[in-house]
């Protein structure tokens, strides 16, 4: 019996390219549905090679517009591309919500493009996990390039590194003081900088400033973060942006950093899942109620109660 025949039917349909199955499984993954979990387990050996390109940056800098341009560019290179837009403001209807802020100027029937919005609401801390699972489903469905747009808020932006193989930070001219405030957050996550709206005055200056700053604070001392100027109005710089992304992906392979980074991400993923199980186990432990009473009576402080409970449980397992 071939391996393929041992897969659950939904996994087989997914791999065969059935888009409705893909959409249904993504919803299931977001809702922690057991059917989707089973498929995720079954397809895992087929995943791990995709290029997951994250786009982070402040509100309105043009992330969606750039992704739109990149889709067109990648289609002209005959590459399939999937987009995951993490949008806290888009209501989650339970079904497939199109990336409504991505203006689709191509055939909606093009099977080489798949766009999906995910609401970050309800995923507190679990956004990275849900997004990773969605990218795995997309990869199993034949998309080996996935573009992920995140919102401009710091927390979600940081999480993009837990998902993306290459993180693009998008900014605009006239950064000024903004760069100072962004430095701590966005500079830590950038593999590539993009100065969008480059047809506006001040773009050259912004690009120079960023190149200088990028040289100072890269997360990876062996990688010089490139700064690419783009305009989705004049369509300038889009192929250069893709080249910079490709260069980083190739660097990940040639330097061994792809495996190194993935090891770190998977370690944290396993840890988070295990912590989740421990937490569920702990909160349903009947001895917790007994531990609360002396604390409630102010005969014992919470920290001592926690330590003793931990010791008691550890002894119980030994």
Comparison of 99 and 237: residue with beta carbon closer to Mg ion? 99
Burial readout 209-222 (b: 16 or more C-beta within 10 A, e: otherwise)? bbeebbeeebeeee
**From 11-19, 54-62, 131-139, 156-164, span contacting ligand GTP (CB under 6 A):** 54-62
Q: Is 196 in the site for Mg ion (CB under 5 A)?
A: no
**10, 11, 53, 62: residue in contact with ligand GTP (rule CB under 6 A):** 62
Q: Is 100 in the site for ligand GTP (CB under 6 A)?
A: no
Comparison of 118 and 252: residue with beta carbon closer to Mg ion? 118
**15, 22, 53, 61: residue in contact with ligand GTP (rule CB under 6 A):** 61
The separation between CA 222 and the C-alpha centre of its own chain, rounded to angstroms, equals: 23
Comparison of 36 and 65: residue with beta carbon closer to ligand GTP? 65
**From 60-68, 109-117, 138-146, 267-275, span contacting ligand GTP (CB under 6 A):** 60-68
Give the 3-state secondary structure of 77-119: CCCCEEEEEECCCCCCCCCCCCCCCCCCCCCCCCCCEEEEEEC
Q: Is 90 in the site for Mg ion (CB under 5 A)?
A: no
Comparison of 147 and 190: residue with beta carbon closer to Mg ion? 147
Answer whether 312's CB lies under 8 Å from 291's CB. Answer: no
Least Å distance, CB 157 to ligand GTP, is 11
**What is the contact mask toward ligand GTP in residues 137 to 176, using x (rule: CB under 6 A)?**
---------------x------------------------
**10, 42, 63, 209: residue in contact with ligand GTP (rule CB under 6 A):** 63
Comparison of 115 and 213: residue with beta carbon closer to Mg ion? 115
Q: Is 207 in the site for ligand GTP (CB under 6 A)?
A: no
H or E element, residue 148: strand 145-149
Q: Is 21 in the site for ligand GTP (CB under 6 A)?
A: no
Answer whether 231's CB lies under 8 Å from 196's CB. Answer: yes
Answer whether 95's CB lies under 8 Å from 108's CB. Answer: no
Least Å distance, CB 73 to ligand GTP, is 15
Answer whether 192's CB lies under 8 Å from 244's CB. Answer: yes
Binding-site size, Mg ion (CB under 5 A): 3
Q: Which of residues 47-66 bind Mg ion (CB under 5 A)?
A: 63-64
CA-to-CA separations, 246 to 48, 226, 254, in angstroms, rounded: 17, 12, 12
| Coil vs helix vs strand at 226 | coil
Least Å distance, CB 282 to ligand GTP, is 38
Q: Is 197 in the site for ligand GTP (CB under 6 A)?
A: yes
**From 43-51, 184-192, 227-235, 299-307, span contacting ligand GTP (CB under 6 A):** 227-235
CA distance 228 to 194: 5
Structure tokens that stand for 302 in this block: 């919470």
The strand pairing partners of 51, in sequence order, are 145
Q: Is 201 in the site for ligand GTP (CB under 6 A)?
A: no
Comparison of 26 and 147: residue with beta carbon closer to ligand GTP? 147
269 binds, among ligand GTP, Mg ion, none (CB under 5 to 8 A by kind): none
Answer whether 113's CB lies under 8 Å from 77's CB. Answer: no
Enumerate helices (H) and strands (E) in the chain, giving the number of each.
Answer: 13, 7
H or E element, residue 210: helix 203-216
| Coil vs helix vs strand at 166 | strand
Pairing between β-strand 145-149 and β-strand 192-195 as defined by DSSP bridges = unpaired
Residue whose structure tokens are 């090679």:
49
Binding site for Mg ion (CB under 5 A): 63-64, 101
């Amino acid at each position: 019996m071939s391996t393929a025949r041992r897969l659950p039917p939904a996994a087989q349909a997914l791999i065969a390219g059935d888009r409705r199955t893909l959409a249904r499984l993504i919803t299931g993954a977001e809702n922690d549905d057991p059917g989707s979990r089973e498929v995720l387990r079954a397809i895992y050996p087929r995943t791990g090679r995709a290029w997951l390109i994250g786009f982070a940056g402040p509100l309105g800098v043009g992330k969606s517009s750039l992704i739109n341009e990149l889709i067109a560019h990648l289609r002209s290179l005959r590459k399939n591309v999937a987009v995951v837009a993490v949008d806290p403001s888009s209501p989650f209807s339970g079904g497939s919500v199109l990336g409504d802020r991505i203006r689709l100027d191509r055939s909606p029937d093009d099977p080489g493009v798949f766009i999906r919005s995910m609401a970050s609401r309800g995923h507190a801390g679990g956004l990275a996990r849900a997004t990773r699972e969605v990218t795995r489903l997309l990869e199993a469905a034949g998309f080996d390039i996935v573009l992920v747009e995140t919102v401009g808020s710091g927390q979600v932006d940081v999480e993009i590194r837990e998902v993306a193989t290459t993180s693009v930070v998008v900014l605009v001219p006239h950064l000024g003081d903004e760069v100072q405030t962004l430095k701590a957050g966005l500079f830590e996550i950038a593999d590539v900088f993009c100065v969008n709206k480059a047809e506006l005055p001040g773009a050259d200056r912004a690009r120079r400033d960023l190149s200088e700053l990028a040289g100072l604070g890269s997360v990876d001392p062996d990688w010089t973060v490139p700064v690419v100027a783009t305009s989705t109005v004049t369509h300038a710089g889009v192929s250069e942006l893709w080249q910079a992304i490709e260069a980083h992906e190739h660097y990940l392979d040639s330097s061994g950093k792809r495996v190194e980074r993935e090891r770190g991400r998977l370690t944290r993923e396993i840890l988070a899942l295990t912590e989740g199980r421990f937490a569920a186990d702990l909160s349903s432990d009947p001895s917790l109620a007994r531990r609360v009473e002396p604390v409630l009576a102010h005969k014992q402080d919470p920290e001592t109660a926690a330590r003793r409970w931990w010791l008691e449980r550890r002894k119980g397992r030994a």
